Structure 1
Amino acid sequence: MEKSKFGVCPLFTFEKIISGKWMLPVLRRLEQNDGIRFGALLRCFPEITKATLTKQLRRLEEVGFVLREETEGYPRNVAYRLTDVGHEFLHVFNKVEAWCEIYLADKAEREAHAAALAE
């Protein structure tokens, strides 16, 4: 049986952390709204189910990107915020996103140039 590479191999760990359709959009929303409640976060993504959002938030807690804060009393108030590690990840991700924008612009330019040569 193969030993898990999570937590051992940096690239495998990175891929496992960001996997999931909603992982990055949820992180972005948490970056914009520090201390956002579950219901408000759910309303930000009309296409997501409660179960899926719960799963993504639990995963983000598990890897240390998100802190779940629960207040006593009724009704129970639960809010989510990014940890320092989560904020640091988004700084890195912003650089990756900027590179992707440059890459896509360059790709479009190359395709336009190739189309012009084909005419």
Structure 2
Amino acid sequence: MEQQVFEKMVARFNTEMPEYCPITYSMKIIGSKWKIPILWKLMLDDGQHYNHLKRMVGNITNTMLTKSLRELEENKLVYRHDDKTVPPSVTYHLTDLGKELIYTMNGLFDWGQKIHNSN
């Protein structure tokens, strides 16, 4: 990135900075270790059952998956669909707000590829 572009972006952040920090606020919502991987897996394959999502994310405990899903629901990024069947069938889906993170994920994807390929 050119220094001028960087400085222009930093100037924008300084000029438009509200009383709260948008980055800090965003990280409060999606900043835990597991939330971005959960959102990423739902972007790749929406409508997952709990156990399948757990396998897709990998190495996450039931406690952390449940906690993360509940927090993502509270922040309206994910919704839980209960089919009201016996046995219970519940799937997790991205909301429209959750789907808006595709632009952020795209940037992280490209950045991750770039730094991985340069190593």
TM-score bucket (shorter structure): 0.7 to 0.9
Q: TM-score under structure 1 normalisation?
A: 0.72
Asked if 1:55 is matched to 2:55, the reply is: no
Paired residue type of 1:61: E
The CA distance in 2 between the partners of 1:33 and 1:105, in whole Å, is 24
State the partner residue of 1:37: 49
Match of 1:76 among 88, 93, 100: 88
Bigger Rg, structure 1 or 2: 1
The CA distance in 1 between the partners of 2:96 and 2:72, in whole Å, is 13
Q: TM-score under structure 2 normalisation?
A: 0.72
The CA distance in 2 between the partners of 1:69 and 1:62, in whole Å, is 14
Structure 2 unaligned segments of length 5 or more: list them. Answer: 1-19
State the partner residue of 1:65: 77
Structure 1 unaligned segments of length 5 or more: list them. Answer: 1-7, 109-119
The CA distance in 2 between the partners of 1:51 and 1:92, in whole Å, is 27
Q: Secondary structure at the match of 1:72?
A: coil
* Deviation, structure 1 residue 10: 1.5
Q: State the percentage of identical aligned residues.
A: 36
What do you get for the CA RMSD once the two structures are aligned? 2.0
The CA distance in 1 between the partners of 2:21 and 2:101, in whole Å, is 17
> How many residues were matched structurally?
100
Q: Secondary structure at the match of 1:67?
A: strand
